[in-house]
C-alpha cells in the first residue's frame, strides 16, 4: 500500500473512478479502503458494508478494499455481488457507519471505481471524498472483523411488504448482465408480474449497461412486443439508474418517467416538492406544476441531489440520467434513507399503472412534447470544461437581452423560444450540453448558435452531435 495520496485524476465529484490497471489496481483499492476506514473512525463509526458489481476487475478490488478497511480497525460486513441501492438499504436498515461499493456504473468495462456512503446511506460530498483521497495509509492497532452478509434477501422482503401481490401483467426486463439480475426478477415476480428477462445473469459484459442509451434498448423493445408486455424496464450495471419502454417498445426520456412517478405523490400530497436537475425538460416541469407540484432544481449529481432531498425533507425526485430517488412521504409509513433505486422505481411504476388500469403510453401522452436534445457529451479537457461552460452562458446572455441565466450548476440560459444548459461533467473530461425549444425551427436556431459559440473553443470536439435531430416525445426503437 502506497504511502502517498491517491492520484488526483481518479478523484471525482462524487466517487473515485479510473481505468484498470493504469489508474486503479489492488494497491489503490486497499488505500481507498484504508482511507475510508480512517475517515469513518474519525466520526466514531465502527462498521461498514461492502459490495461490488459484476465487472471482471471487481472481485480483486473488492477484496483489497476490504483489507484496507480491516487494517483501519473497521468491522466489515461483506455483501459480495450486490446492487448499489441494496448496499444503501443495508447501511440504513442495519444502522451501519457507512458503505463502499466497487463499481464504475455505466462507464466502459476498462473502468472501475468506488462509490462511498456515510451513515444513513448518505453519499459523500466532494470535500469528504477529497479528504479520504488525501489520507495517508495507516495500520490500526486493532484489526477489524469480517462478517458475511446477505443483503439482498431482507431488501426483497421490504419490497414485497411495500408492494405485495398487485398485478398479473407481462413485463419485459433487461438487467444488462448487471447486479439487478439478483433482485429485479424476484421483486417483480413477487408482485405477481410475469417476467420475461434478457441478460439476467450477472457477468462481466463487453459493453457496460446504460438504460438511457437507445441502441442498448432495441433487443428489449423486440421482447416487449413479442410477449405483449405492458412495460419494458432496463437498468445500469449497479442498479441505481432505470430506463423504460411502453407496450409498443418506445423509449421515453428519464425525466418523463419522473413526471409519471410524481403523480401518485401529488395526488396524495398537493403542493409537494419534486426535485429535478437543470437538464429537465420544460414539458416535465409544466406537467408537475399543472398537477399542483412544486418543481425544484438541483445541481446535477446523485450525491448533491440526495443531500438536497434530505436537507429539505423532500419526498421524491429524479435526474435526467435515470436516477430516481424516494423519500418518506412517497412511501407512507416507511422510514426512507433517500436512496436512488432502479428496482424500487420499477416496482413503483408497475404498481401505479396496475392501480390506474392504464398503460405507460397513456400516462406519457399527458405530457406535451417539445423538441429537445439528449444530453450531449462533448470531449473537453478537465482543466477547461468549467470555463467553457461559463463562457457559453455568457455568449448566449450577451446575444439574448431578455435571457435569464442560472449559474448554480454551470450555466442554464433561458431565452424567448427555449433554453440551454452547459456544465462540466463530474465524472469525465466532458462538456455536457442539453437544449430545448418551443418548436423545431427554434431548435435549429439554438443548435446553430451553439455551433458559433463553440467555434471559439478549439479544445472542444464532437460538435457534430449538435446536428442530430431532436427528441420529440417517445422514440420508436423497432
pLDDT digit of tens for each residue in the chain (478 aa)? 556 789 999 998 889 999 999 999 999 999 999 999 999 999 999 999 999 999 999 999 999 999 999 999 999 999 999 999 999 999 999 999 999 999 999 889 999 999 999 999 989 989 999 999 999 999 999 999 999 999 999 999 989 998 987 788 999 999 999 999 999 999 999 999 999 999 999 999 989 999 999 999 999 999 999 999 999 999 999 999 999 999 999 999 999 999 999 999 999 999 999 999 999 999 999 999 999 999 999 998 878 888 899 889 899 999 999 999 998 777 655 555 688 999 999 999 999 999 999 999 999 999 999 999 999 999 999 999 999 999 999 999 999 989 999 999 999 999 999 999 999 998 788 999 999 999 999 999 999 999 999 999 999 999 999 999 999 999 999 8
The question of whether 444 is a catalytic residue gets the answer no
Any idea which residue has 494497491 for its cell?
Answer: 27
Under 8 Å between Cβ of 81 and 51:
yes
According to the model, what pLDDT value does residue 336 have? 59
Instruction: List the catalytic residue out of 12, 162, 241, 323.
Output: 323
According to the model, what pLDDT value does residue 333 have? 55
Question: Would you state the cell numbers that stand for residue 256, as one nine-digit string?
Answer: 418523463
According to the model, what pLDDT value does residue 81 have? 99
Any idea which residue has 448487471 for its cell?
Answer: 178
Under 8 Å between Cβ of 360 and 231:
yes
According to the model, what pLDDT value does residue 303 have? 80
Could you tell me where the DSSP H helices lie in 8-103? 26-42, 58-71, 84-93
According to the model, what pLDDT value does residue 1 have? 58
Instruction: List the catalytic residue out of 78, 105, 298, 373.
Output: 105
Instruction: List the catalytic residue out of 12, 17, 250, 370.
Output: 17
SS3 of residue 18 by DSSP: strand
The question of whether 2 is a catalytic residue gets the answer no
* Distance, CA of 324 to CA of 257 (rounded, Å): 9
- The domains located in the chain, with CATH, are 8-150 (3.40.120.10), 153-364 (3.40.120.10), 376-476 (3.30.310.50)
According to the model, what pLDDT value does residue 50 have? 99
According to the model, what pLDDT value does residue 85 have? 96
* Distance, CA of 36 to CA of 46 (rounded, Å): 11
Could you tell me which of 321, 382, 412, 408 has the C-alpha nearest to residue 13?
382
Could you tell me which of 25, 28, 26, 32 has the C-alpha nearest to residue 50?
32
Q: Where are the beta strands (DSSP E) in 91-229?
A: 99-102, 111-117, 146-148, 170-174, 194-197
The question of whether 412 is a catalytic residue gets the answer no
According to the model, what pLDDT value does residue 272 have? 95
Quote the pTM value. Answer: 0.96
Structure letter (DSSP) for residue 461: -
According to the model, what pLDDT value does residue 331 have? 65
* Distance, CA of 104 to CA of 113 (rounded, Å): 5
Any idea which residue has 450477472 for its cell?
Answer: 202
* Distance, CA of 57 to CA of 54 (rounded, Å): 8
Amino acid at each position: 500500500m502506497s504511502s502517498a495520496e491517491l492520484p488526483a485524476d481518479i478523484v471525482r465529484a462524487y466517487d473515485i473512478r479510473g481505468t484498470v490497471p493504469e489508474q486503479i489496481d489492488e494497491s489503490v483499492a486497499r488505500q481507498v479502503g484504508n482511507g475510508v476506514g480512517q475517515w469513518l473512525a474519525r466520526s466514531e463509526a465502527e462498521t461498514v458494508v461492502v459490495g461490488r458489481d459484476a465487472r471482471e476487475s471487481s472481485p480483486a478490488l473488492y477484496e483489497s478494499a476490504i483489507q484496507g478497511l480491516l487494517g483501519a480497525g473497521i468491522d466489515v460486513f461483506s455483501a459480495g455481488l450486490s446492487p448499489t441501492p441494496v448496499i444503501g438499504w443495508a447501511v440504513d436498515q442495519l444502522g451501519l457507519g457507512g458503505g463502499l461499493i466497487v463499481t464504475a456504473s455505466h462507464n466502459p468495462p476498462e473502468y472501475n471505481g468506488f462509490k462511498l456512503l456515510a451513515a444513513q446511506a448518505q453519499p459523500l460530498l466532494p470535500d469528504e471524498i477529497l479528504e479520504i483521497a488525501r489520507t495517508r495509509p495507516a495500520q490500526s492497532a486493532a484489526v477489524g472483523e469480517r462478517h458475511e452478509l446477505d443483503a439482498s434477501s431482507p431488501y426483497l422482503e421490504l419490497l414485497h411488504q411495500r408492494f405485495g401481490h398487485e398485478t398479473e401483467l407481462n413485463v419485459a426486463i433487461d438487467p444488462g448482465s448487471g447486479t439487478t439480475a439478483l433482485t429485479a426478477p424476484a421483486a417483480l415476480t413477487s408482485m405477481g408480474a410475469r417476467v420475461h428477462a434478457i441478460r439476467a445473469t450477472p457477468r462481466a459484459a463487453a459493453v457496460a449497461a446504460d438504460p438511457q442509451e437507445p441502441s442498448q434498448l432495441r433487443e428489449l423493445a423486440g421482447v416487449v412486443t413479442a410477449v405483449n408486455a405492458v412495460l419494458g424496464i432496463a437498468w445500469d450495471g449497479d442498479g441505481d439508474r432505470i430506463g423504460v419502454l411502453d407496450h409498443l417498445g418506445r423509449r421515453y426520456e428519464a425525466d418523463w418517467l419522473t413526471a409519471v412517478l410524481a403523480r401518485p405523490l401529488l395526488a396524495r400530497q398537493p403542493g409537494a416538492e419534486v426535485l429535478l436537475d437543470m437538464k429537465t425538460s420544460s414539458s416535465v416541469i409544466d406537467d408537475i406544476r399543472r398537477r399542483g407540484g412544486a418543481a425544484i432544481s438541483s445541481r446535477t449529481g446523485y450525491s448533491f441531489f440526495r443531500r438536497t432531498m434530505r436537507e429539505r425533507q423532500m419526498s421524491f425526485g429524479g435526474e435526467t440520467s435515470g436516477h430516481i430517488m424516494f423519500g418518506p412521504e412517497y412511501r407512507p409509513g416507511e422510514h426512507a434513507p433517500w436512496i436512488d433505486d432502479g428496482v424500487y422505481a420499477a416496482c413503483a411504476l408497475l404498481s401505479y399503472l396496475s392501480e390506474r388500469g392504464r398503460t405507460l403510453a397513456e400516462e406519457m401522452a399527458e405530457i406535451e412534447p417539445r423538441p429537445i436534445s439528449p444530453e450531449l457529451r462533448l470531449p473537453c479537457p478537465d482543466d477547461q470544461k468549467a470555463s467553457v461552460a461559463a463562457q457559453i452562458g455568457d455568449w448566449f446572455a450577451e446575444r439574448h437581452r431578455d435571457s435569464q441565466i442560472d449559474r448554480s450548476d454551470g450555466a442554464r440560459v433561458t431565452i424567448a423560444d427555449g433554453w440551454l444548459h452547459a456544465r462540466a461533467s463530474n465524472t469525465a473530461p466532458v462538456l455536457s450540453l442539453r437544449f430545448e425549444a418551443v418548436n423545431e425551427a427554434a431548435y435549429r436556431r439554438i443548435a446553430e448558435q451553439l455551433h458559433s459559440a463553440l467555434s471559439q473553443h478549439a479544445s472542444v470536439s464532437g460538435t457534430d452531435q449538435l446536428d442530430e435531430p431532436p427528441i420529440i416525445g417517445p422514440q420508436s426503437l423497432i
